[in-house]
Structure 1
Amino acid sequence: MDESGPNMGPNGSNNGDLNSFEIVNKADVEEINEDLGEEEWVDILGSGHIKKKILKKGEPDTRPQRGDLCVVSGFGKLEDDTIVETFDNLEVCVGDLELVHGMDYVLPLTEAGEECQVEITARFGYGDKGDPTKNIPPITKLYYSLTLHSVLPDFDLAELSVEKRLDFGVKRKTRGNWFYSRGDISFAVQCYRRSLEFLDSANMNTNDASQELLDSLIKERVHCSNNLAQAQMKLGSLEPALISLNNVLSLDPNNIKAMQRKAKVLSERNEVDEAIGILKQAQRLLDTLETDTDDATVLSKLSGDKKLVQSELKALYAKLKSNTAAEKEIYKKMFSKPLAGGPDDQEPDKKSGPAGSFNKLLLMLGITAVALLTAGGFWLRLYHPDLFSEYLWNVD
């Protein structure tokens, strides 16, 4: 990490891991705020990427911390004063990447009731891709007007209604999808993980929730976990991806997409037999679904899924065959290696004929006898230690 912030992806795009992302050191925040006055620009990171100027001071000792819920309003504009985004009384959690990335550095330095101006370069804004949907060009500096209305510190997820948690979860999943589409995979993973914290029903009061709402909650958890697995696979994090896929299949055992992805993960871990088993299960499920419907659209999708599964199975069988051949070759080399001092060290005329064959036979019998005696000794020692000690170690 350089002095200007989190690691960047190719071409300067944001691609940091917010699990280890420190917004601002607490001591630095206090020091900055002591010197922070009206009509003064403060370079938050010391690199010129994020600058802030207070227009109206807020209430002392009300700065939010990571995870706190804030209500903010404001707008962002280009250098020519073209407004490209607005937000009014928007609820955001510090560190959840709900606004442009640089705002997660600004909010911990802002007090409730404060009004300020913020300048954010492309590195902590929309990167080298910009955002065509907002008419933000690539590599563009943005100028924000920001008001922090209120801060709800340390809010308890368990106290939020099911509707609110579903809403928060879906928003973060959607944000993760946006980062994934831009190639910012680490940020996507962070958003998906945060989304699942809201969608997890383990610490949720669902007594008054309708069945329809609960079904929506499970559906979103399945989608988000599946997306998380795909992002983790992109990063090469196979073990976390496998956990995410198992979570999907625990909620939706017939999820074909999760089965295919799990087979891919297992294949990359060289667990080919298990991968084949998963795809065979998916194949049987697709056959059943195909016989249970007459809908042309559904049948067309099932047909496409079946072709994909068959193609993946074919590739796995080829890999299994290749692995088996490689293992045989290794065993062949292991057992065909000449033994020092054995018959292969003798002169050719002494190895050929009945005498040579008899010597080889004796050698093989001797090796087998030693192996059997050793295995028997270990077996006795393991399963009959008392007998073993009395029989082998006691002296008359």
Structure 2
Amino acid sequence: MADQEETHTNGSGDNQDSPATAKKSGRTSLLDSGEDFEVLDDVDEDVDDDLPPLEDAGGHKKKSSGEEESAQAEGANVTELSAPQEEWLDVLGNGLLKKKVLEPGSGPDSKPQRGQNVTVRLRSSLADGTVVEEEPNLSFTLGDGDVIQALDLTVQLMETGEKALVETDAKYAYGALGSVTPAVPPDTALTLELELLSASDAPDLELMSPAERIQLASQKRERGNVYYQRGDYAFAVNSYSIALQITEASSKVDISPQEEEELLDVKVKCLNNMAAAQLKLDHYDAALRSCVSVLAHQPDNIKALFRKGKVLALQGEYAEAIRILKRALKLEPSSKTIHAELSKLVKKHSEQKGAEQAMYKKMLGNPADSSAQKRQAKTSWGVSWKWLFGATAVAIGGVALSVVIAARN
């Protein structure tokens, strides 16, 4: 039950295609974390992060003229003191993401805003100095999750033209899984050298050409696939949601039927993948809505039917789930995944019905047993009555015989 370029399946029938492999094969199996972005407090732009330490900011007692002359004599051959080293900014307050300004930019007013498109020069290296990534012009939408969290969070604090050094824990880089491209080992901290080259407003979706919207929506969807494969399901849902907004935006540009079909195709894939991620997060109602949305456009979409059946089963709606899965199996009889899920569900439903029947019998006092007891009681009474009647007849007969014998005598 795939959802990427309408592709492949894993054991549960959820399929994804990562950006790294989709272009080559178009197929990869989907891969539980779901970490949301850390919430940053608003930064006061009036605060000067470049202030020197307090001990260097003056406030000491003024020396006497003698002390000053002595100090001048002792430091006659000493050059001017160097400026204090730039301070590190603890971005999240947990010591795991720090930023230091190397060269200031164009001022606080030039800081980018979430939703803007930014371009940065990036150089990433390991603790031993090994360079793992160099991007002279890396462009992304700030706050959309297009890049690692360390970039998304720190670039928001930079001024245009600013150069900065960022030290990030693996948590805000490539995490416990690491990365193949770039080559970053698992649980590895990174040092990022950054320069914010530009920041500009994102283009108006209504004025974008259909081809541009299709490309942009596909990029966001592929980013969601990457998050899904890494087990970051909440991030995946966020990327899929952004892609859906792009596909659903109104347009002031003429669009051909073929382009409409392509946008719908991207939308359906996003909804299917979103349902898969929502299932991983146990967001059953949301997953069901995603499946229903797909089926509103494509009533015979196998993946949506399969996932809808799974959601209904998880919600205890076994009869309806079985009906949906039977429909899916009829559309794709060769699917072992649907067949296995349906067989498992039918067994559960049978067990549930058996348990319910036993419960009803117990609630009603086991009427079947009561009927048997009544029949047994009736039978016992019939036997007793016949025995009593026979015994009485024998007694009466005995008395009559005694009377006759006495009369003869």
Whether 1:35 aligns to 2:35 is no
> 1:246 corresponds to which residue?
292
Which of 34, 48, 51 is the matching residue for 2:98? 51
Secondary structure at 1:136's aligned position in 2?
A: coil
Runs of 4+ in 1 over 6 A off after TM superposition: none
Q: Which stretch of structure 1 is more off in the superposition, 130-139 or 87-96?
A: 87-96
Whether 1:271 aligns to 2:287 is no
Matches within 5 A, 1:223-372: 223-286=269-332, 303=334, 305=335, 307-336=336-365
Once residues 353 and 307 of structure 2 are traced to their aligned partners in structure 1, the CA distance between those partners, rounded to angstroms, is: 24
Aligned residues: 310
Could you list the per-position Cα deviations for residues 287-318 of structure 1 after superposition, in whole angstroms to 9, with x for gaps in the alignment?
6xxxxxxxxxxxxxxx3x2x333333222222
Q: What code does the residue aligned with 2:36 have?
A: D
Whether 1:16 aligns to 2:35 is yes
**Contact (CA 8 Å) 1:68, 1:153: kept in 2 or not?**
yes
Whether 1:135 aligns to 2:150 is no
Could you list the per-position Cα deviations for residues 146-184 of structure 1 after superposition, in whole angstroms to 9, with x for gaps in the alignment?
122222347643343333332222222212211221222
> 1:360 corresponds to which residue?
none
Once residues 341 and 360 of structure 2 are traced to their aligned partners in structure 1, the CA distance between those partners, rounded to angstroms, is: 28
Once residues 78 and 29 of structure 1 are traced to their aligned partners in structure 2, the CA distance between those partners, rounded to angstroms, is: 32
Query: How much has 1:244 moved relative to structure 2?
Result: 0.9
Structure 1 alignment gaps of length 5 or more: 1-12, 288-302, 339-343, 357-396
Secondary structure at 1:84's aligned position in 2?
A: strand
Q: Give 1 or 2 for the bigger CA radius of gyration.
A: 2
Whether 1:91 aligns to 2:139 is yes
Query: How much has 1:14 moved relative to structure 2?
Result: 6.7
Once residues 156 and 190 of structure 1 are traced to their aligned partners in structure 2, the CA distance between those partners, rounded to angstroms, is: 20
Once residues 138 and 274 of structure 2 are traced to their aligned partners in structure 1, the CA distance between those partners, rounded to angstroms, is: 26
Q: Where is the helix percentage greater, Structure 1 or Structure 2?
A: 1
Distance change >3 Å, CA 327–CA 251, structure 1 → 2: same
Q: TM-score, normalised by structure 2?
A: 0.68
Q: What code does the residue aligned with 2:41 have?
A: N
Once residues 145 and 211 of structure 1 are traced to their aligned partners in structure 2, the CA distance between those partners, rounded to angstroms, is: 46
Once residues 164 and 77 of structure 1 are traced to their aligned partners in structure 2, the CA distance between those partners, rounded to angstroms, is: 33
Which of 163, 166, 188 is the matching residue for 2:214? 166
Could you list the per-position Cα deviations for residues 226-246 of structure 1 after superposition, in whole angstroms to 9, with x for gaps in the alignment?
111111111111110011111
Distance change >3 Å, CA 309–CA 241, structure 1 → 2: same
Q: What code does the residue aligned with 1:54 have?
A: V
Q: Which has the higher contact order (CA 8 A, sep 6+)?
A: 2
Once residues 200 and 217 of structure 2 are traced to their aligned partners in structure 1, the CA distance between those partners, rounded to angstroms, is: 18
Could you list the per-position Cα deviations for residues 257-293 of structure 1 after superposition, in whole angstroms to 9, with x for gaps in the alignment?
2111111111111111211221222233236xxxxxx
Secondary structure at 2:146's aligned position in 1?
A: coil
Once residues 147 and 222 of structure 2 are traced to their aligned partners in structure 1, the CA distance between those partners, rounded to angstroms, is: 13
Structure 2 alignment gaps of length 5 or more: 1-31, 52-84, 382-409
Secondary structure at 2:359's aligned position in 1?
A: helix
Query: How much has 1:109 moved relative to structure 2?
Result: 0.8
Q: Which stretch of structure 1 is more off in the superposition, 328-337 or 174-183?
A: 328-337
Which of 151, 155, 163 is the matching residue for 1:103? 151
**Contact (CA 8 Å) 2:122, 2:138: kept in 1 or not?**
no
Q: RMSD across aligned C-alpha pairs, in angstroms?
A: 2.9
Distance change >3 Å, CA 65–CA 337, structure 1 → 2: farther
Could you list the per-position Cα deviations for residues 189-239 of structure 1 after superposition, in whole angstroms to 9, with x for gaps in the alignment?
222222222222x4234x423443332222121111111111111111111
Whether 1:116 aligns to 2:135 is no
Query: How much has 1:86 moved relative to structure 2?
Result: 2.8
**Contact (CA 8 Å) 2:49, 2:87: kept in 1 or not?**
no
